[in-house]
Structure formats: structure tokens, C-alpha cells
Amino acid sequence: MIDIQRLVKKFDDFTALGPLGFTFDQERILTVIGPSGCGKSTLLRLLSGLEAPTQGRIRLDGETISGPNPLISVAFQEPRLMPWLTVAQNVELAVWDRPDAERKEAVQAALVKVSLTQFADALPKQLSGGMAQRVGLARALVGSPRLLLLDEPFSALDPLTRVRMQDHLLEIVGDDGPNVLLITHDIDEAIVLSDRIIVLDGPPAQIRRDLVVDLPKPRKRSSREFQEIKELLLADLLPERIGALEEAA
Amino acid sequence: MSELILKLVRPLAAPAWPYALAHRAAAIVRPLIFPALILAVWQGLGSFSLIDPVLLPTPTKVLGALYEMVISGYLNPHLAISFQRVLLGFAAGSAVAIVIGALTGYSTWWRSIIDPTIHAIRTIPGLAWIPMFILWLGIDEGSKVVLIAKASFFPTYLNFMSGIARADRKLIEVGQVYRLRGVRLITKVLLPHSLPFLFVGLRQSMGVAWLVVVAAELMGASSGIGYVLLDGEMTGRAQIVMACMIVFALCGKTTDLIIARIAQRVLSWQDTVEKE
């Protein structure tokens, strides 16, 4: 269980986040959505241990998170691969502290998950954007994390590749994968993937809506339920739009 | 309409390869035109006795002098000792630069302690050190090598330090997320990231080392290309001086090419098109 309690993050006098608290456990994919600059990336940086909270705490299965943790991994908006390492070496970076045999096996398994075994010895400069992003995903998965943080991981991809990666993520997470906390500003992506959606307001980031999405997966984007959730979220994210819609009607 | 365009285009497109060949030949020849012109004028000035050949020996005379020095074996020991000085000085200077540069690049605390002093020392003219080095280390090899080492320290230090200091925050974060710290973060992320900067520094240092070896050998040496050059001056043989200038140019270019080739090999992961 991930338990976030009265979390606050200040940069000097500027409060970027909080106080904010929620727990999550059952949901495979929890999406945090909000306008840009609202503090959602700060939340992710706190969870990943890259930033320390000013107040409050984050606990994973009862243990307080202080700094980077092997049970929590991150895939960023950009692939962030080391250009001087091969695909396999980049993935290996996340499990450098494991014994040799175990490490090789884990890397192989992670590359299988993202269907990139043939490219194990390729350099990042030889990969397409989607492939590079999959390597980033493999690196985040290789250590069998308990919690996988995704920071707008598909936002830089072309629309078709993005849809393919979303399907791929659902496959990877499956029933026994890590819990995923996904940060996005793509409403469709949030609804397609999530078991629960938290809408943030800010700064400072605060919870505006906490919504459980229990539609069966895979989800049809054209379904009425999908569209209803979309309208709801749009209204949250663009409150000024409601007035305009009412006027038009 | 499209057929018409095809017909119009085909006769132009067909003889593409001789055109491309001519284009390539021109690309090779073009940069040679100007130096060839200079050489021709230079040779002409001498041949028609428009300039005193004692002041400006003709290219053929210079090449003749060079050929003679090489064939007679006179040049070899001097070349060897100059190379030895340059390589020793370069190796020592850049090795110290790499160690200190890694330290000041990685740690802002160490940078604030050491870096300002290094910049202050850098502003002292190189030649001003010569008397002190001779006083401390004598007129022999020691002072020459140290002078070269000191000069080749700075370019490598400056480039390597800024390469490490300016490492991509995003990649460092990846390292942090996967718990890389200290030496491991340096060797896995910072060092490879700063290698391109390091090689720029090494090439500049090698260039500087060849510049300084001349100064070092002019200050009372009995061997080295710089000595041969000085000897040419003392005995009024300008063709020897100019032949030595050519030797220096060739030596500098050769060592630079070697470093550039190594860099190309080591940095093949870079996603850039770098052309000489």
C-alpha cells in the first residue's frame, strides 16, 4: 500500500504541493491528471525520492520513503537513455547491484516484455522514439519494482505509437505487475488506462476530484461511459468552459 | 503532364555520375588552389631574384634543406627528443588536469577552493615562468618538460571540468533513481558524458604542447627541432629555419590526427555528424 500523508513541498516561499494525502493499493493503474504547472511532476519527484518533502511523509508498505528506493522506479517523459551504453547496458543500469547471473536474466526478461531482444546491442542513436521509450520502460521494469512511476511517458510520441504503447502498458502491468502511478495531461489516456483518476488543482497541488473508473478493459473510446467521464474531467480541468457550453446551448 | 515532366527531367538526371565525380574532384582541388598560388608567387620571387634569397629562400630550397636533413639522419635525434619532451609534458599536464578537473567539476565545494587560483595562474604569461623553472629545475630536460606540462594542463582542465560540471541533469537523475552515488555515478554517467569535452581539451593541449616546445628549446637547448631552428638562425640559413617550421607543422598535425582518430573511435556513440 502506498500511503501519502499531509504531504507538503515548498521551494523557498513557493508552495508547489499540498497539503495532500491519499492511499492506493488495489488499483493497478492510478492516474494523476491536472493542468501543466499544477504540481503533478513535483508529486512524482517526491514519490521517486528525487526530492524530499517539506512536511508529511510517503510510506510504501509501512516503510517511510527517504530517497531513491529499489522498490520504486521511474520512466520519464523522455527516454533518458545513456547514449554511450547499448540498450541492454542501459537496462542493466537499474539492477547494477544484483549478482551477475541474476542481472543478465532480469535484463533479458525485461527486453522480452518490451519486445526489444533483437536490439539488445543497439545504441540509443539507432532507435526510433517509440523504441527508445520502450527501453526506458524496460529499465523501469527490470528491477521488478513494487511501484512504477510514469511521468507523461507517451506524450512525445506520435498518436499511433502512443496508442500502441498504452495497450502495451496494460499488457505489461497485467495482474501481477507493479502498481502504476501515471502522470499525464492526456484525458483520453487517463480514461483508457486507469482504475482510478485523481484530478489535481494548483499550485499548490491539491486533490480536486478522486474518481474510480470501473469500466472493463480494454475500453472503447467511443462508448457513452467513456465520453461521460471525459466531459466530467474536462469540466474539472477547464472550469471556464462550462459557462461557454451553457451559453451555446 | 507528369510524362512531360519526366521527359524534361530524364536527360538532366541521366549523366549524373560524371557530374558528381567532377563535383568531388572540384571539392578536393578547390582548397589547394590558394596555397599553390602562394607557392608559385613565392618561387617566382626567388627565381627572378626579386627578393634576396637569404631573406626568403625559395620553396625548392627549403624542401631541399629538409630532404638533406632527413636523408643524412641529422634530423632524427632532434625529432626524437622534441617528441619526447612534448609527449612527456603533454601526458603529465593532461593527467593532472583530468584528476583536478574531475574533482572541481564534480564538487562545487572543491571548485570554489581551487578553481579561482587556477584561473589566476593561467593569466601569467607562459614565457614569464621560464626563468623560475630554470632556477628550480636547471637548464636540462626537467624545466622544459614542466613548462610544456604546465601549458598543456589548462585546455584539458578547463574543458574537462566544464564537461563534468555541465552534465545533463536529466541523466544524473536517472543515476540517482537507480541509486548510483559517488565514484559509481562518476564512472557510469559523468565521465562518459564529459568524454567529448575531454577530447576537445586534449587536442588543444597537444597543440599548445607543440607551441611551447619551441619556446622551451629556444631557451638554451642543445637538441630538439627548436634548437635546429635556432642554429639555422644563428648561422644565417633561413632555409633551415623554414624547414623546421614545416617539421613542427607536420608533427602537430600528426599528433592531432591521432587524438582525433582515437576520439572518433571512443565517441562513436555520439549522435552527431562530425566532419574534419
Q: Which of B126, B154, B130, B128 is nearest to B142 (CA)?
A: B130
DSSP string, B105-144: HH-HHHHHHHHHHHHHHHTS-GGGGHHHHHHHH-SSHHHH
Q: Which residue of B has its CA nearest to A78?
A: B170
Determine which helix (DSSP H) or strand (DSSP E) holds B80, and give its type and residue range: helix B75-106
Q: B178 vs chain A: nearest CA distance in angstroms?
A: 5
Residue with the three cell numbers 633551415: B240
Question: Which of A93, A123, A124 lies nearest to residue B188, judging by beta carbons?
Answer: A93
What part of B 55-114 touches A (C-beta under 8 Å)? none
Give residue B209's pLDDT: 95
Give residue B275's pLDDT: 45
Question: Which of B171, B179, B180 lies nearest to residue A70, judging by beta carbons?
Answer: B179
Between chains, do B269 and A94 touch, taking CB under 8 Å as contact? no
Residues from chain A that touch B173, judged by Cβ atoms under 8 A, are 50, 76, 80
Strand A63-64 and strand A72-75: pairing?
unpaired
Give residue B1's pLDDT: 47
Q: Which residue of A has its CA nearest to B169?
A: A80
Under 8 Å CB-to-CB from A193, ≥6 apart: which residues?
A29, A31, A166, A169, A170, A182
Residues from chain A that touch B177, judged by Cβ atoms under 8 A, are 48-50, 68, 73-74
Between chains, do A68 and B176 touch, taking CB under 8 Å as contact? yes
Q: A234 vs chain B: nearest CA distance in angstroms?
A: 31
Residues with pLDDT less than 50, chain B: 1-4, 6, 275-276
Residue with the three cell numbers 628550480: B136
Residues with pLDDT less than 50, chain A: none
Between chains, do B176 and A70 touch, taking CB under 8 Å as contact? no
Distance CA A194, CA A186 (A): 12
Distance CA B7, CA B3 (A): 6
Q: Which of A164, A159, A157 is nearest to A129 (CA)?
A: A157
Distance CA B247, CA B207 (A): 14
Q: Which neighbouring-strand residues pair with A181?
A: A30, A149
Strand A72-75 and strand A2-11: pairing?
unpaired
Angle between helix axes A224-237 and A240-248 (nearest 10 degrees) is 120
Determine which helix (DSSP H) or strand (DSSP E) holds A147, and give its type and residue range: strand A147-151
CB contact A31 to B (< 8 Å): no
Interface predicted TM-score (ipTM): 0.85
CB contact A1 to B (< 8 Å): no
Distance CA B240, CA B146 (A): 27
Q: What angle do CA A218, A223, A226 make, to 5 degrees?
A: 75
Distance CA A187, CA B195 (A): 42
Please tell me the pTM assigned to this model: 0.78
Give residue A27's pLDDT: 82
What burial class does residue A61 get, using C-beta atoms within 10 Å of its C-beta: 0-12 exposed, 13-18 middle, 19+ buried? exposed
